[in-house]
Structure 1
Amino acid sequence: MGRPKTQTDRRLTLVAAAESMIAKRGLAGVTLRDVANEAGMSSSALLYYYPGLKELLDDVQKKAVERFCTQRASSVAAIADPRARLRTMLESGLPTDPDDQLCRLLLELGAYSRSDASYAARHITLFERQVAIYVGILEAGAATGIFKLSAASEVIARSLVVLEDGLGLHLVNVVPAIDHASALAILTSYAELATGCSLG
C-alpha cells in the first residue's frame, strides 16, 4: 500500500487492512501484527493510531455498517415502481458469492455483538436501518394498491432482514449450503407471499 500522509488517511489504511485480513482469515484469526503488516507499517506505528485491536475493529464495524446501509439505500432511491424497488432491495441484501468481502465482514463482526454492548448497538442499528428501507418500500406499494400486505409492514420487513441474514451465513460458508440463485428465490418467494404480488 502507498504511504498515506494524514492521520485520517493512515486510519483508513488500517481499517482497509483489517477488513482484508478478516476476509482472508476470519475475525478470530486476526492480530494487530497481521493488520500492521498488511498496511505496510510496524506494530508500534499502528498503536499510535489504535491502542488495541478492539478500537480498530470498532472503526471497521462503524465504516462497514455505514457503507452497507448507504449502498442499499442508494440502490433503490431512484426506482419508482415498488415491485422493482423490492426486487432490487432483495438482491442487494445477499452476498454475491463466498468472497463478498463486505457481507463476510458484517457477518464476522456480528459474532462480536454477543459479548460486547457497543458492537451489539451497532449491529442493531444495521438491522433497523435495513428494516426502515423495507418498510418504506412496502408501505409505498400498499398505498398504491400494488401490494396487499399479509401482515404489518414492519413485521414483513423484519422477517425479510432476518431471512437475508440466515441465507447470507450459508452463502459465505467455506462449503456453501445453498447457492445465490436458490437463496434469492427463497427470499423472493417469501416477499411475494407477504405482498400478494408477483415480483417477476
Structure 2
Amino acid sequence: MGRPSKAVERKAELLAVARRTVVERGLLNLRIRDVADGAGVTPGSVLYYFPSLAELLQEVQRDAVERFCTARERAAAGGTAPGRRLVAMIRSGLPAGPGDELCVLLYELGTIARRDPAYAARHIALFERQVGSYAAILEAGAATGEFTLTDDATTIARNLVALEDGYGLHITHAVPTLTRTAAEELMLAFARTATGSALAEQS
C-alpha cells in the first residue's frame, strides 16, 4: 500500500493544529492566521486546502464527532452484561477534566450550532447517535430482565445524554464546579432509578 499523498498529510496536520488552536484559544475571534501560525505556514497555505475558516472548522467538527462516538461505542460494545455496558457508556461520555481536548472541542464547536445550520445538523446527529447507543443498551437490559425501565428506552437515553452534556460543561469550566467523579455518581444515581438496577455492583 502506497504512502498517503502530501495533500492528505498536510490536511491532517492542519486539522490537528486547528483542533489544538480551538481548544487553546476558543472560537471567539479565531482567524485563519491563528491556525497558520500554529502550523508554521502562511494563511494562504491553509486556504489552499480549506477555502474558508468555516470549512476548516466543519471538517474539525466532523472528525471530532466521529472520534468521540466511535470511542464511546467501542467502550460500551456488546459481549458483556447490559449493566456493565451502561456503566461503561456513562463513564466514556464525561470529560476527564478541563483539559479534555476532545470534549472541550465539541463544546466549543457546539456554540456555532446556534447560528449555522450545517453545524447544527452535525450537533443533532451527535446527540441522536449517543441516544441510540444508550437506548440499545437499555432495551437489551429490559429484554434480559436485568433492567426494569421506568420509562421508554429513548426517553431515558435522551435524559442521560442531556445530563452528560450539562455535567460535562461544569467539569470543563476554567474553574470546575463539579468533578468528574461527582458527575459520574450523579449520572449513575439517575440510571439506577431509571433501570431499577444496582449499577454500583457493575463498577
TM-score, scaled to structure 2: 0.94
Which one-letter code corresponds to 1:70 in the other structure? T
Write the deviation string for residues 101-148 of structure 1: whole angstroms up to 9, x where unpaired: 000000111100000000000000000000000011000000010000
Q: 2: CA distance between counterparts of 1:24 and 1:136?
A: 36
Q: 2: CA distance between counterparts of 1:79 and 1:65?
A: 25
**3-state DSSP class of the match of 1:65?**
helix
Aligned to 2:133: 133
**Contact preservation (8 Å) 1:149, 1:194:** yes
Structure 2: which 5+ runs fail to align? none
Which one-letter code corresponds to 1:199 in the other structure? L
**Most deviating of 20-29 and 133-142:** 20-29
1:53 is displaced (CA, Å) by 0.7
Aligned to 1:191: 191
Q: 1: CA distance between counterparts of 2:29 and 2:156?
A: 36
Aligned to 2:75: 75
Q: 1: CA distance between counterparts of 2:20 and 2:142?
A: 42
Matched ranges for 1:1-200 at <5 A: 6-200=6-200
Q: 1: CA distance between counterparts of 2:39 and 2:75?
A: 31
Q: 1: CA distance between counterparts of 2:89 and 2:26?
A: 27
Q: 2: CA distance between counterparts of 1:59 and 1:139?
A: 33
Which one-letter code corresponds to 1:148 in the other structure? T
Q: 2: CA distance between counterparts of 1:30 and 1:12?
A: 19
**Contact preservation (8 Å) 1:22, 1:29:** no
TM-score, scaled to structure 1: 0.96
Structure 1: which 5+ runs fail to align? none
1:10 is displaced (CA, Å) by 1.1
Percent of pairs with identical residues: 49
**3-state DSSP class of the match of 2:129?**
helix
Which one-letter code corresponds to 1:8 in the other structure? V
